[in-house]
Every structure is written in structure tokens, then in C-alpha cells.
Amino acid sequence: MDNKSSVLGKGLSAIFSEKNVDVSSLSRSEEGNNLSREIELSRIKVNPLQPRDDFDEEKLKELAESIRLNGIIQPVTVKESGGDYMLISGERRVRASKLIGLEKIPAYVYQKPADTNDSLLELALIENIQREDLNPMELSDSYQRLVNEYNLTQEQIAERVSKQRSTVANLLRLQKLPVEIKISLRKNEITEAHARRLLVIDNPEDQLILWKRIVTENISVKNLEDMTKSSVKKPRKKKVRLGEIYDPYIQSLEDKLRNFFGTKVTINRKSKFSGEIVIEFYSSEDIERISDKIE
């Protein structure tokens, strides 16, 4: 079995061992005991590299009730920082504990001083990527941060998180989507398969039109594949009509018709005063819907 497979799912131990970090110091107190300590919640600062921005309130309440009844079984992990503590992992437990009014929480304190704060934050981000139930957009954002802030290549990211490079590359491609679609994916309104299929469409405006239909009409991935078969990316040609640069007024009309019909519309001029309007459809339901619009 290769190294990637052997570290999959091992969390901090596997990740830190790759960076020569003494993981045992994560659970050692200053006296060397293999115990956690009680730390005031007010002194624990949220990790700025936490990949999850949105936390399900209902699930947090459920976790809070569990903590109220059973206590915190798994301490959080922190590092001393400026007299307070930087959270490495366990933000859900911290948030849930605050909901029920706890003042202190058990925590493992990472003691090794040789690592820089930047290095530790990178490790914290990778740890969260492996341990948290992140959706595809949250993972994509996390990988992009590793690229932007730590100059990691796709190969290096794949090695650190025990994934195939192609998996990392596909998630990073989601960064090319319009912001509205990214938000929708983050909210789980559409699936990663929907989002990746939208990427075969060149025009962001067309992507948005089709995305709105996915959300409002509950279009399946299979139907979406059928609808976008003719939209596989091809080299864009410069739009020229009658020997002149394409008229922006025509482009504006196309945009209005696309928004009205909810599908791709193209205006083709054949002469100065004639041409054709092409309204595309992808199913029998599309024809009915377009017909209703015309009526």
C-alpha cells in the first residue's frame, strides 16, 4: 500500500509525522503528563484558517445538549499564542460549549516551540480538511488557501491530505464558477456533480441561467448532462458579422432573450436586414415551457 493510503484518516498523527512534528506534545501538559488541561473559553481564539464558515445551528444545538449531558469526551487542541490560545481543531465543540454557558473546556496544548505560527496554521488547516465534514466548495476554498498562502502545488496538497492529484485539481476548478454558484454549492443547494457539469459551459451568464433552473426545477445531474452535451468547451472564435466586429447591441438582445426564455438564444445575421433567432431546447418540457413564454 502506498504512503497516501497509509495515512488516510489518521488525522493529526499522520499529518504531523510527515512534517516531523512531535505529535505527542499535542497532548502533554507543561509537566509532561499525558493529560489535557481546563482552559477558559474566553482565552481560546478561533483559527483564522478554519475552512468552515457556516455551522449548522441545529447540529450545534444537538452537540451542545450532548456536551451538557455527557461532558466533552474529546478535548480540543490549542497552541499558546500571545497569552491566549489559538484553536487548532475542535471549533464545533468550542461553539457548542459556549451555547450552554460553559466557562472552561478541556484542551490539549501543543508545546513544541520550534514550529512557526505559519507552519502550525498550515497544519491546522490540513487537519481540519481531513477531520471535518466539509462540502466540496469548502474543500475547494481550503485547497486554494494552501495554494495562495503557502505556495503549495497540487501535488503537494494531494500528498498532505492523502488524495489523488486529480481530486485536488477537480476541486480547485470549482474556483472558476461565478460567485452565486459557489455560494449555492456551499449551501448544498446543488451537488459537486452539478457544479462540475456547469463548468463545461464557456459563458458565465449561461452558467447562471442554467444554475437557476437547476435550483428552481430540481434538475438531476443526468438531465443536466443531456442538456449540456452540445456545450462542451471549444476554442472561442471571434464573433464577426458581415466583415465587421460583432454588434454589441445584438449581444445585448441575446442576453435579454436568454434571461427571458431561460435557455441559450443566438441571433445570427445573414445580411444587413435579415437573419435568424435560434432558441435552444433540451427536452420536451423545455419546448412546453418556451411555448408558454411565447404565448
Catalytic residue set: 91
Distance CA 174, CA 198 (A): 10
- Whether the Cβ atoms of residue 5 and residue 15 lie closer than 8 Å to each other: no
Nearest to 159 by CA among 136, 126, 137: 126
Round to whole Å and give the CA distance between 261 and 47.
46
Give the rounded distance of the alpha carbon of 119 from its chain centre.
Answer: 22
Element (H or E) spanning 143, and its range? helix 136-150
Give one DSSP letter per residue of 185-254, joined into a string. HHTTSS-HHHHHHHTT-S-HHHHHHHHHHHHHHT--HHHHHHHTGGG---PPPP-EETTEEPPHHHHHHH
Whether residue 123 contacts residue 26, with contact meaning beta carbons closer than 8 Å, is answered with no
Please enumerate in sequence order all residues whose Cβ is within 8 A of that of 230, keeping only pairs 6 or more positions apart, or say none. Answer: 280
Grid coordinates representing 49?
Answer: 484558517
